[in-house]
Amino acid sequence: QLQLQESGPGLVKPSETLSLTCTVSGGSISSSSYYWGWIRQPPGKGLEWIGSIYYSGSTYYNPSLKSRVTISVDTSKNQFSLKLSSVTAADTAVYYCARLRWELLSWFDPWGQGTLVTVSS
């Protein structure tokens, strides 16, 4: 059964870069032709797609975040990562990683359990 697990610092200072990693288990990130993505949810609010990556490294970002986001993949570690630069309090959220299907236009399933990142000095 495929499982995803987010990891990274739970507290980031304003103006710094948020860095998270998603580790995939129960399957290879590169053996199946899937896309992988990041979604976030501010406390008590709705969901926002951040971006997606193909196992080959091709990326696709939310236009509203594109200038600050970098998503990368490390197939040797079965991981993909998120970097969000110049963070503010508005970036405080639970960050989820998830798998898409074999094409970019896709639903998200399964999801990781999520990790709360707080932006504060």
The site for other proteins (CB under 8 A) is made up of: 46-49, 62-63, 96, 105-114
**Any residues with CB less than 8 A from the CB of 5 and at least 6 apart, and which?**
22, 23, 25, 112, 113
CB of 96 to other proteins, least distance (A): 6
DSSP string, 45-72: S--EEEEEEETTS-EEE-TTTTTTEEEE
CB of 12 to other proteins, least distance (A): 21
CB of 59 to other proteins, least distance (A): 13
Q: For residues 99 and 119, which CB has a smaller minimum distance to other proteins in the complex? A: 99
Euclidean distance between the first and the last CA atom of the chain, given in angstroms as a whole number:
39
Q: For residues 62 and 70, which CB has a smaller minimum distance to other proteins in the complex? A: 62
Computed on alpha carbons and rounded to an integer, the radius of gyration of the chain in Å comes to: 13
Q: For residues 16 and 48, which CB has a smaller minimum distance to other proteins in the complex? A: 48
